[in-house]
Amino acid sequence: MNFELGTEQQEVKARAAEFADREVAPYAAELDRDDRIPFETLEKLSEMGFMGLCVPEEYGGAGSDFLSYCLLIEEISRTDAGIGVTLAVHTSAGTLPIVIYGSEDQKARWVPDLARGTRIGSFALTEPEAGSDAAAIQTTAGRVDGGYRLSGHKQWLTNGRIAGAAIVFACAPEGVTAFIVPTDAEGVSFGKHARKMGVISATTDDMHLENVFVPEEDRLGEEGNGLSVALGTLDFGRIGIAAQALGIAEAAFRYASNYAAERTTFGKPIAEHQAIAFKLADMQTKIRAARLLVHEAAWMKDRGMRVTEAGARAKLYASQVANEVTYEAVQVLGGYGYMKDHPVERYYRDARVTEIYEGTSEIQRLVISRGILKEMTGPPGGVEGSRPVVG
Ligand SMILES: Cc1cc2nc3c(=O)[nH]c(=O)nc-3n(C[C@H](O)[C@H](O)[C@H](O)COP(=O)(O)OP(=O)(O)OC[C@H]3O[C@@H](n4cnc5c(N)ncnc54)[C@H](O)[C@@H]3O)c2cc1C
């Protein structure tokens, strides 16, 4: 067993950390305050090859592994969680489904621009009446000569209006189906930009589709296979959100521990009061435990293993840790933690959504518990020792 990152992974982490500290951190508070989209940072991310880091080189990406991608998301989110999720949704929900489920023709036509960042990707599953219950979507895809006509209302798309392409899920005659839809297609429009509690530098928009023509060749996978595409994508997409949560937690821990070493009360640094010292110990321990789950899930993905439960465990725990750690970071700073002069109140707001998008914590528990049940009731002779003894 080896806990060390490989040479390439260490290089990606170092490059990402240096970039995040130089190009992302200085603007994070301003973007959060002004609710502004960071186009210039996205361009710089493209120049660094970060918009297609784990996309194969043959389709214009950097060809790094999924663990490297998670290291990148963690480092960017450590400085600006909104840019972290912009990058995560673009890569794992907007680009990788085409790499994984697309035809050679689709990969050749769509992926290189996405991997280079000249086109941003998005993922349009949620609707006003369908979030956790994805099968309840109502957007329709009627068959017409040469393709389909899509109509419906998609809600809260990360990257919505800045994306050049969206993976849209709609009900076709054979069932839910995935489509690649250019956002400049006739009939596509975007509603009001959502005003949020956190991850403010990420744009979140509603998308309206009115009789939008999508040619047959832009159907992603078989007709009726859309839910498999959506759930398969979320299986690994969640690992990226777990990495985002980890980045937020790490930022809060670093800030709070530095502060605790400097702030004095009753004649000594607050870090020397046991109540604060123990908070820091718990924060660090939880972050390290969460990181192990994230790296394990990414490691499994890189080996082509099933990550449904591992990804859910990583997201469930890392998002919980992000919320606990940011809560405690505010507490360590006392009144200063509540003020906009320090970034911990932003981390606290940013952490909240990691327990909601790409599947709420309740849905992660559902996924994990179903996996346990399957192990218990599945055929004997599965993984030795993992089969719980019942009765
Ligand atoms: C900032 C932001 C960005 C987003 N970006 C995207 C995006 O890019 N693309 C996209 O498609 N979607 C996106 N979403 C939508 C997000 O994935 C959904 O909000 C999420 O899946 C939850 O769905 P819901 O909000 O409809 O909540 P609901 O499904 O209505 O759930 C409400 C509550 O009930 C619980 N619940 C529901 N069903 C069950 C159950 N069976 N058992 C136990 N508890 C249950 C939930 O956990 C939750 O606590 C985004 C959301 C936000 C806030």
Atom of ligand 1 nearest to the CA of 124: 11
β-pairing, 121-124 vs 140-144, is: unpaired
Question: What ligand 1 atom has the least distance to the C-alpha of 158?
Answer: 8
Instruction: Give distance in angstroms: CA of 357 to centre of ligand 1.
Output: 6
pLDDT in tens, 61-71: 999 999 999 99
CB 232 within 8 A of CB 116: no
Most ligand 1 atoms within 8 A of CB, residue of 91, 126, 155, 370 to mutate: 126
Q: Report the SS3 class of residue 264.
A: strand
Picking from 263, 237, 204, 212, the residue whose alpha carbon sits closest to that of residue 82 is 204
Task: State the closest ligand 1 atom to the C-alpha of 202, by its place in the atom list counted from 1.
Answer: 1
- Low-confidence stretches of the chain (pLDDT < 70) are 379-391
From the centroid of its chain, how far is CA 114? 17
| Assigned token pair, 48 | 């660094």
pTM for the full predicted model: 0.96
What is the helix (H) or strand (E) element at residue 60, kind and residue range? none
Phi, psi of 306, deg, nearest 5: -70, 130
What local confidence, expressed as pLDDT, does residue 346 receive? 98
Class of domain 228-375: mainly alpha
Q: Which amino acid is at 72?
A: L
Instruction: Give the distance (Å) from ligand 1 centre to CA of residue 360.
Output: 6
User: For the chain, how many residues are written?
Assistant: 391
Nearest to 245 by CA among 309, 157, 322: 322
For residue 121 the two structure tokens come to 């990707």
Output the CA–CA distances (angstroms, integers) from residue 226 to 107, 126, 311, in the order listed. Answer: 18, 13, 20
DSSP E strand boundaries for the chain: 121-124, 140-144, 147-158, 165-172, 175-182, 188-193, 204-215, 219-220, 264-265, 268-269
* Cα 259 from chain centroid (whole Å): 29
CA 221 distance to own-chain centroid: 23
The CA distance from 182 to 210, in Å, is 14
Domains of the chain, by residue range, sit at 7-116, 121-224, 228-375
Architecture of domain 121-224: Beta Barrel (2.40)
Tokens standing for residue 46: 């493209």
pLDDT of res. 380? 55
Q: Which amino acid residue places its CA nearest to atom 52 of ligand 1?
A: 357
**How far away, in angstroms, is 353 Cα from ligand 1 center?**
10
User: What's the CA gap between 97 and 111, in Å, rounded?
Assistant: 10
- Rounded to whole angstroms, the Cα distance separating 201 from 42 reads 11
Q: What is d(CA 376, CA 203) in angstroms, rounded to the nearest whole number? A: 43
Token look-up 């591992």 returns 310
Q: Which residues line ligand 1 (CB under 6 A)?
A: 89, 122-126, 131-133, 156-158, 196, 199, 204, 353, 356-360, 362-363, 366
**pLDDT tens-digit readout, 118-131:** 999 999 999 999 99
When computed from its CA atoms, the radius of gyration of the chain, rounded to whole angstroms, is: 21
Q: Are 260 and 308 in contact (CB under 8 A)?
A: no
Q: Give the Å distance between the CA of 218 and the centre of ligand 1.
A: 27
Which position has the token pair 């403010």? Answer: 200
Q: Is 224 left (phi over 0), alpha (psi -120 to 50) or beta?
A: left
CA of 302 to the centre of ligand 1 (A): 27
Residues involved in catalysis: 358
Nearest C-alpha to atom 51 of ligand 1 is from which residue? 357
Amino acid at 262: E
- CATH class label, 7-116: mainly alpha
C-alpha span between 170 and 154 (Å, rounded):
10
Mean residue pLDDT of the chain comes to 95
Ligand 1: distance of its center to the CA of 375 in Å?
Answer: 27
CB 297 within 8 A of CB 314: yes
Q: Does residue 344 contact residue 333 with C-beta atoms inside 8 Å? A: yes
Closest CA to 91 of 137, 59, 134: 59
CA distance 214 to 75: 37
